[in-house]
Amino acid sequence: MDFEAIMMEGILILKIKGELDQYNADRYRLRFDMKIVSPEVQKVVIDISELSFMDSSGVGFLVGRFRTAKAFAKELVLVCNSNYINKLLSTCGIEKLIKKYTTIEEALS
């Protein structure tokens, strides 16, 4: 897994690429949380459009980042246009918890 963090006007965009599995979720949990709780961040957009694989640990990772953002009164949304990942998120009920968009532009509006 690789990720890129972009900050623009109070919005933190975290682009995740590759695989989001237990190994990577454990490796990146603290890094993501440190960025999310930063005082200048008001909204977090996690872009998972370029994920090639995600398992239940990846789902747990996303829920954990949502809880971190919520604890610090920040909005967190997802961007995903992969049928495979969308089906997994839908099956797990994530869409009831976290707003999901198909493009970054939609998420930023």
Q: Averaged over 8-17, what is the pLDDT? A: 95
pLDDT of residue 17: 94
pLDDT digits (tens, 9 = 90+) for 62-83: 999 999 999 999 999 999 999 9
- pLDDT beyond 90 at 51: yes
Q: H helices within the chain, ranges in order?
A: 22-36, 56-71, 83-92, 104-108
Distance CA 1, CA 24 (A): 6
Distance CA 72, CA 90 (A): 26
**Domain positions in the chain:** 2-108
pLDDT of residue 95: 87
pLDDT of residue 109: 85
Q: Which CATH architecture has domain 2-108?
A: 2-Layer Sandwich (3.30)
